[in-house]
Amino acid sequence: MPERSAGPAAAAAPASRATELTGWGRVAPSTARLAEPADPAQVAGLLAAAPAHGVIARGLGRSYNNAAQCGGGLVIGTTAMHRITSFDASTGLATCDAGVSLEQLMVAGLPSGWFVPVSPGTRQVTVGGAIAADVHGKNHHAAGSFAQHVPWFDLLLPDGRQCRVTPGDDPRLFWATAGGMGLTGIILAAAVQLKPVLTSRVRVDTVRTADIDETMACLSDTDDRYGYTVAWTDCLARGTSLGRSVITSGDFAAPGDLAPRDRRDPLAFRPGARLGAPRGFPGGLLNPVTVGLANEVWYRKAPRKREGEIQTIGAFFHPLDGIRNWNRVYGPAGFRQYQFVVPFGQEAVVRRALERISGARAPSFVTVLKRFGPADPGFLSFPLRGWTLALDFPAATRGLAGLLDQLDGDVLDAGGRVYLAKDSRVRPEVFAGMYPRLEEFRKLRAELDPGGLLASDLSRRLEI
Ligand SMILES: Cc1cc2nc3c(=O)[nH]c(=O)nc-3n(C[C@H](O)[C@H](O)[C@H](O)COP(=O)(O)OP(=O)(O)OC[C@H]3O[C@@H](n4cnc5c(N)ncnc54)[C@H](O)[C@@H]3O)c2cc1C
């Protein structure tokens, strides 16, 4: 185990203010003191003066649930620590503060041909949040999850000491922190190995499938052929159409694939201004009828088969980022994201989940089915080799709690799990059954943080 240094000298803690916070799903608000330190010394000052009700880090608040909340305690927002401290354009290695966003890394790396190794469905995610949730992208089958591309991070431990953690020198602390949802310490900085690309466009093939069997067969077939692949699934389709989907698969384009006008600047990337969703959407806008219609239109407008379409990074990786605050569309009650994974061989569980969801008319427009590659060693990391299905349900959907309890049961029996960055309602005993390394994680936490300083609304609910 490497030396742990005394850590940054604690500076005076910056001001904090009482703030009501939610996750992206806007369910389960709670009020905490929110402080936004500008440097590690201020973070150390905040930890040293931490309140009894616990402390947790918060990045851009894109986890759907209450993972980055600490009701009655202190939330340390990291987005004021947002410097890219070095970038080597010959190797693609970036070092940065934990509050740097994936969008910032893209803006810094793309001009010299480097892209983030793993991108979730939004680039409005901090590096600290990406490590803490060990996020995955459309390339999990090929590239694994985010922490596999992190050579080191600097962690401020609950006792105020600081260490540079690498997977080689301290695998236990590294892999407890990757996926550990902020419960081992505050990540202050990290190195991220970017991946080389020749252009900033993706060459995309699309296939529309008729049912779940064809969807699964097509997805299985794409594993070896594409770096990125994912299916949008019509979760309300039933009977012979159950699981009908639109599968998009792709890889970064070569300069010769681009339209002549784009070849002049093949690495162009302009995230640009985003449209904002207005405040005050009423509840109930997304319901079985409207989502059923939207799903029908989305499915029908997709081509049966199309090859070689050139898409921008935004269109392929982050379509939802085009509209700021799109989460308001769900109205004041918010929405619950549900994502599970089950091992290969448990295809029947995916089918049953779709039968249960379509049978209950539980409306989700953003429904994604994907195949994961091998798990990494993260104690609480979500991905494992198998099928993952993600859905967004309006929180006010009638019968949703019972439906998701049923799905939990099926997933648990199949040796699967739900995702900690998204879950807002699984029961603690079910969660414990899903994560076999939870006891190891708790043991390490007890060693690092005997006083239980680090805590979130999520960790309290799930007794992590
Ligand atoms: C539209 C959308 C699409 C998404 N798609 C995907 C996807 O495809 N794949 C995927 O894996 N996820 C996906 N997510 C979830 C998102 O990637 C994760 O929740 C991610 O952790 C959010 O990062 P953040 O900076 O917003 O962190 P927050 O949501 O603020 O925090 C998340 C967790 O990280 C911890 N944390 C944050 N910063 C630090 C730090 N410096 N030190 C220690 N702990 C820290 C927090 O305590 C919390 O537990 C998506 C989210 C949205 C909104």
Sign of CA dihedral 136, 393, 295, 271: negative
Using an 8 Å Cβ cutoff, are 73 and 32 in contact? yes
User: pTM for the whole thing?
Assistant: 0.97
Q: What gap in Å lies between CA 77 and CA 38, rounded to an integer?
A: 10
For ligand 1, the distance from its centroid to the CA atom of residue 127, given in whole angstroms, is 9
| Nearest residue to 387 via CA among 406, 408, 415 | 415
Residue tagged 């007794």 (tokens): 463
For residue range 296-340, list pLDDT tens digits in order. Answer: 999 999 999 999 999 999 999 999 898 888 888 888 899 999 999
Tell me the CA distances in angstroms from 109 to 124, 127, 259, 372, one per residue in order.
16, 14, 22, 26
Ligand 1 pocket member 135 (CB < 6 A): yes
Burial of residue 240 (number of CB atoms within 10 Å: 0-12, 13-18, 19+): exposed
* The Cα angle at residue 184 between residues 145 and 438, in degrees rounded to 5: 70
Do 187 and 68 meet the contact criterion of CB atoms below 8 Å apart?
Answer: no
User: In angstroms, what is the span from residue 62 Cα to ligand 1's centroid?
Assistant: 5
Strands (E), 36-151: 55-58, 74-77, 84-88, 93-97, 114-115
Positive or negative, the Cα torsion across 328, 329, 333, 339?
negative
How far, in Å, from the CA of 399 to the mean position of ligand 1? 28
Element at 391 (helix H, strand E): strand 386-394
pLDDT of residue 3: 62
Are the CB atoms for 414 and 372 separated by under 8 Å? no
| Cβ-based neighbours of 63, under 8 Å, separated by 6 or more | 23, 24, 129, 133, 421, 422
Strand-pair category, 275-276 with 323-324: parallel
Measured from the CB, is residue 138 less than 6 Å from ligand 1?
Answer: no
**Whether the domain at 84-197 and the domain at 201-255+276-426 fall into the same CATH topology:** no
Kindly tell me the burial class for residue 180, based on how many C-beta atoms sit within 10 Å of its own C-beta (0-12, 13-18, 19 or more): buried
- Cα–Cα distance between 277 and 273 in angstroms, integer? 13
What value does the mean pLDDT of the chain take?
A: 95
60 ligand 1 Cβ < 6 A: yes
Q: CB of 320 closer than 6 A to ligand 1?
A: yes
pLDDT of residue 324: 83
Ligand 1 near 129 CB (within 6 A): yes
For residue 23, give the ligand 1 atom closest to its CA: 29
Which helix (H) or strand (E) segment holds residue 340: the answer is strand 335-343
State which residues of the chain have pLDDT below 70.
Answer: 1-3, 273-274, 278
Token output for 56: 């947790």
Class of domain 201-255+276-426: alpha beta
Domain 84-197, architecture per CATH: 2-Layer Sandwich (3.30)
Please name the residue whose Cα sits nearest to atom 6 of ligand 1: 120
Q: How far is the CA of 137 from the centre of ligand 1 (A)?
A: 12
What tens digit of pLDDT does each residue of 370-414 get?
999 999 999 999 999 999 999 999 999 999 999 999 999 999 999
Is residue 98 within 6 Å of ligand 1 at its C-beta? yes
Write b or e for each residue in 55-76: b if 16 or more Cβ atoms lie within 10 A of its Cβ, otherwise e. Answer: bbbbbbbbbbbbbbbbbebbbb
- Domain range annotation of the chain: 84-197, 201-255+276-426
